[in-house]
Amino acid sequence: MTRNNEILVLKLSGGLFFSESFDGVAKSIKEALEKRKELKLVLIAGGGLKAREYIKIASDKGADAATMDEIGISVSRINARILATSLQQFSEAKVPESLGELVESVRANRAVVIGGLHPGQSTNAVAALVAEKLRARRFINATDVDGVHSRDPRKFKDAKRIDRLTPKELEKIIGEESMHPGAYDLMDPVALKLVERSKIDTWIIKCEPKFIEAALNDKRIGGTEIIFS
């Protein structure tokens, strides 16, 4: 598949939007756009803890899974609007809510920020779908951990980071990752299938300024690369 070398897709962990790292990440994004005049970015905001909190409340009130997904999508779009405001010299404030709107916005702007699109679809899957649709050069998945590990590094101190692996190897590690609303984390099965079918060049990195700055300049510090062998 011929790639559009001007476009990078960056998925941002929802936890970023309520952390001290937010301003640093926004600065790194703006500096990359200022430095590389040909660069276009599509940024996907996760819902994070706030989305999970609202989803928990809705669940306690008896909401169905589709409604809980819609609540998570709403929160992710609020996060997207905040980031778009921070990038206003490069991005319009309106957050696209469909692939069609996204494509039109990419034509007119250097940076486009979106949240979730459809119930049953994680923001990781949205990012992979966007990368596929736009034939992006790379999908950068910025998460709350530094790449893929042999097991959850937040629970096990002896977890080892894996530098490179295939989709099949990653599939074995994530197993049957939960598809419940708000439960998506490192890379859910739907996102992984999209990456695999279109052989999307994918990096999984930590969602902090120095890692994102490097990735936007085509350098990977730590993290994991998905390869196709």
What are 152-204's pLDDT values in tens digits? 787 888 889 999 999 999 988 887 554 455 444 678 889 999 999 999 999 99
Q: Specify the CATH number for the domain of residue 151.
A: 3.40.1160.10
Residue 112 backbone phi and psi in degrees, to 5: -130, 135
Alpha-helical runs (H) found in the chain: 22-35, 48-60, 65-86, 99-108, 123-134, 167-174, 189-198, 209-216
Host domain of residue 20: 4-226
Task: Say what the pTM is.
Answer: 0.92
Q: Are 130 and 42 in contact (CB under 8 A)?
A: yes
Rounded to whole angstroms, the maximal C-alpha distance in the chain is: 50
What are 34-58's pLDDT values in tens digits? 999 999 999 999 999 899 999 999 9
State how many domains the chain has: 1
Indicate the angle between helix axes 189-198 and 123-134, nearest 10 degrees: 10
